Amino acid sequence: MKMVEDLKRKPLFVLAVILLLSSAQAGNANRTSWHQCADFQTANFLHGSKLNVQFLLFTSSNPSCGELILADDDIEDTSFNSSLETKIIIHGFRALGTKPSWIEGLVRAILHTSHVNVIAVDWVHGSTGAYHSAVDNVTQLALSISHFISKLLALGVSGTSIHIIGVSLGAHVAGLVGHFHSGQLGRITGLDPAGPKYTRASLEERLDPGDALFVEAIHTDADNFGIRIPVGHIDYFVNGGKDQPGCPRFISAGLLEQAGVSMRRLPKEVIVYLMTSPSAPFCVHHSLVEFRLQKKRNVVTSIEITFYSNSTKDTAKITIPQQEEVGKRLLAHKVPLCEINIVMLKYLPKNRFWRKDESHIVGKFCAAPLPLNKNRTMFCLPWNITLYGNTDASYQLSAACA
């Protein structure tokens, strides 16, 4: 009776007892609520370290709390859900031995859009120090990840439901993992695959289209440390694949599920170029702009084109080669073409001290939102226009929204 009275006076203690009893009954099914959050390791860049791989599991119920899964752990005793798709993230070279700063944001972005398992591979120790040392660890790391995936497959996980996301050097690790599984894993995304040591490597050593059923790569640093050659079924060269507007010189992306690409009848290789804006959310609309000269000229013709909306201004330049009539250019703009109010055109004559260019040109301006289809066709100003050298000429646009 005294114990009962003590419990009545101690409601917090009673609550704790009830929770402990309920958790004991639930067993491993509710481990997600109780496991201690794990984080990436840090390493000393002054001396080498063993590879020391660990796997961190993130789920929709705990998107910011990693559950540590060691290589020899029984995955069935974790929060891993074998009925869901699995995304495996592999970071790249970490010169100073620090945690990849972008990991948390990428994990949250994935779990915000998809109900999946997210596995972050921590190989900070093996990626620290000299770049060539990190490269030397790639094969051993890929074998470790491949062994981990084999354990998932043994649980009944479908190989086609596995999506590996590799950043920089991690992209080639992903390719090697896919190679070890005979190219039968579902998807590999290479984010800015590393260039040094890999540009002239064999297909077995680097990421290539044979490493998964669907391989894509997003290139944003091809003028520095990113690889310059296509390595997937589809390669996206964002803003030409070089320095990105409004961004520091490192990869920054978000990833939509399957990216709207069919998994069937894939071409061997496709190169895609796209543009972004310098500020969030970075997505832009793309229009094909065209100027058709009334007559051919013996010199190169340059025309500056600016789209104005109520709040935006976007500019591109068309170049028409000599002895040709038409110049075309992709113009990226922040609002749909149907929301563009004014187009400003300026003829840029190439005057030299020994030769003066023509004072004006005559032609027709057209534009079309991309991609072109039955609802998106070329829209042209209904008359020929005359442009005078270095003089702005503005015209109203009235393109209809699709």
Structural domains of the chain, with CATH: 34-274 (3.40.50.1820), 285-396 (2.60.60.20)
Share of the chain above pLDDT 70, in %: 81
- Residue 18: the pLDDT is 31
Which of 180-184, 203-207, 274-278 has the weakest average pLDDT? 274-278
For 296, which DSSP code? -
Query: Is this model's pTM higher than 0.75 or not?
Result: no
* pLDDT given at position 262: 45
**Identity of the residue numbered 89:** I
Yes or no: say if 186 and 162 are a contact pair by the CB < 8 Å rule.
yes
pLDDT tier for residue 351 given thresholds of 50, 70 and 90 = confident
Per-residue pLDDT band at 373 (split at 50, 70, 90): low
Q: Is the peptide bond before 63 cis (omega within 30 degrees of 0)?
A: no
For 86, the token pair is 């699995």
280 has pLDDT over 90: no
Choose among 287, 329, 326: nearest CA to 304. 329
Task: Provide the pLDDT for residue 93.
Answer: 93
Q: How confident is the model at residue 20, as a pLDDT? A: 32
Q: Give the least confident one: 18-22, 85-89, 152-156, 165-169.
A: 18-22
Reduced DSSP (H G I as helix, E B as strand, rest coil) percent helix, strand, coil of the chain, to 5: 25, 30, 45
Say yes or no to pLDDT of 8 above 50: no
CA–CA separation, 401 and 369 (whole Å): 10
Say what the pLDDT of residue 118 is: 97
Taking CB atoms within 8 Å and a gap of at least 24, the contacts of 194-197 are 194/92, 194/93, 194/168, 194/169, 194/225, 194/226, 194/227, 195/222, 195/224, 195/225, 195/226, 195/227, 195/228, 196/131, 196/225, 197/131, 197/132, 197/135
With a cut of 60, say whether residue 317 has pLDDT above it. Answer: yes
Q: Dump strand ranges (E) for 17-168.
A: 54-59, 62-69, 86-90, 117-122, 162-167
Question: What residues contact 183, with CB distance under 8 A and at least 6 apart?
Answer: 210, 211, 212, 213
pLDDT for 274:
75
Cα 48-54-60 angle, rounded to 5 deg: 140
Report how far residue 68's alpha carbon sits from residue 31's, in angstroms, rounded to the nearest whole number: 12
> Residue 39 has what pLDDT?
92
CA dihedral 252, 255, 259, 263 (to 10 degrees): 110
pLDDT band with cut points at 50, 70 and 90 for residue 338? confident
DSSP string covering 180-218, please? HTTT-SSEEEEES-B-TTTTT--TTTS--GGGSSEEEEE
Angle between helices 169-180 and 138-154 (to 10 degrees): 50
Write down the residue that tokens 């010169």 correspond to.
95
Please state whether beta strands 285-293 and 313-320 pair in parallel, antiparallel, or not at all (unpaired).
Answer: unpaired
Q: Compute the average pLDDT of residues 100-120.
A: 93
Res. 48 pLDDT band, cuts 50 70 90? low
Query: What are the phi and psi torsion angles at 136 (to 5°)?
Result: -60, -25
Q: What is the side-by-side order of every strand in the sheet holding 62-69?
A: 62-69, 54-59, 117-122, 86-90, 162-167, 187-191, 214-219, 234-238, 270-274
Q: How large is the average pLDDT for residues 350-364? A: 87
